[in-house]
Amino acid sequence: MKKLILAIALLNSFTGYAQKYMTKTGSVDFSATSSIEKIEGTDKSVACLLDAQTATLNLVIQVKSFVFEKQLMQEHFNENYMETDLYPKATFRGTLGNIKSIDFTKDGEYPTTTNGKLSIHGVTKDVQVKGKVIVKGNKPTLQASFSVLLSDYNILIPGPVKDKISKDARIAVNCALEPMK
């Protein structure tokens, strides 16, 4: 009887454990390109944790890790706009919608809507993001693309460059996850 209880406990802990996925190498692309200037950066060191059992999703972005084509643009991004010394991280904490319709053991593409709190530049806002979960070989990849209004996050654009920078930023997320070990 003790062996049966131990086997059930081990099976339950394994099942719950296998329901968590993570990466430390997710990517986020940022674009505030205007008709005058291309402003794009990429961060390929995004930490992402998905608990498929509870549908919770957490992302942490080290803002200073964004890389831009031009070094000067990267410096302005960090020092003048994002103020990364004061606000080093951007985070998303939310819940993946329709989690029960996503089969993490079957290859496929599953549309989803995620609701949560996006924190950028010291400001936290409720957001709803449409995206998809792509499962291949029992490994999910999370993809989403959405826009944020820079002024909503107190990111101010000085008058002399206001036409060079879009008022909203396009954010694209791509996180290929692995089962937690």
State the average pLDDT over residues 149-157. 93
Q: Which of 140, 124, 128 is nearest to 18 (CA)?
A: 140
Query: What residue numbers bound the domain in which 62 lies?
Result: 20-179
Helix (H) or strand (E) holding 10: helix 2-18
User: Tokens for 123?
Assistant: 């400001």
Does residue 12 form part of some domain? no
Does residue 11 form part of some domain? no
Mean pLDDT of the chain, nearest integer: 89
Q: What is the CATH number of the domain that holds 29?
A: 2.40.128.110
Residue 18: pLDDT band (50, 70, 90) is low
Does residue 84 form part of some domain? yes
pLDDT at 64 exceeding the cut of 70:
yes
Q: Return the higher-pLDDT residue of 151 and 181.
A: 151
CA distance 10 to 63: 40
pLDDT digits (tens, 9 = 90+) for 25-42: 999 999 999 888 899 999
User: Tokens for 8?
Assistant: 């059930």
State the average pLDDT over residues 47-64. 96
Q: Which of 60, 47, 118 is nearest to 88 (CA)?
A: 60
Count how many domains the chain has: 1
| Residue 7, C-beta contacts closer than 8 angstroms, at least 6 positions apart | none
Does residue 10 form part of some domain? no
Q: Which of 175, 164, 169 is nearest to 70 (CA)?
A: 164
Does residue 147 form part of some domain? yes
pLDDT at 17 exceeding the cut of 50:
no
Does residue 126 form part of some domain? yes
Does residue 93 form part of some domain? yes
DSSP label at residue 140:
E
pLDDT at 63 exceeding the cut of 70:
yes
User: Tokens for 179?
Assistant: 């089962």
Does residue 14 form part of some domain? no
DSSP label at residue 106:
S
In three-state secondary structure terms, 14 is helix
Q: How much is the pLDDT for 16?
A: 40
Q: How much is the pLDDT for 42?
A: 97
